[in-house]
Amino acid sequence: MKFSVTVTLKKNVLDPQGKVVENTLKNLGMLNLKSIRQGKFFEIEIEEKNEEVAKKKVNEMCIKLLVNLIIEDYKIDIVK
């Protein structure tokens, strides 16, 4: 069973890396760019047939290692 996890910085957390990308793109002539924020993405494959159980496992991975809950939000999706 495959999942995708998207990790983004919370709204009020500064994103210096994203800011650099934003400035670089503006310097490249992309003047109608309003904002860009960078996050992380994980493709996770699990050996587990039960969707509920698998999703719980992925959630556990996020909490234990992948996501810093103080400054980041995350979203888990099933990949069909």
Among candidate residues 71, 39, 44, 47, the one with its CA nearest the CA of residue 59: 44
Q: Measured between alpha carbons, how far is residue 11 from residues 37, 39, 72 in Å?
A: 10, 12, 9
Task: Show the binding pattern over residues 30-59: x = contacts a copy of itself (CB under 8 A), - = does not.
Answer: x-xxxxxxxxxxxxxxxxx--------x--
| Number of Cβ atoms within 10 Å of the Cβ of 62 | 20
Q: Taking CB under 8 A as the criterion, which residues in 2-31 touch a copy of itself? A: 4, 6-8, 18, 21, 24-25, 28, 30
The binding site for a copy of itself (CB under 8 A) comprises 4, 6-8, 18, 21, 24-25, 28, 30, 32-48, 57, 60-61, 64-66
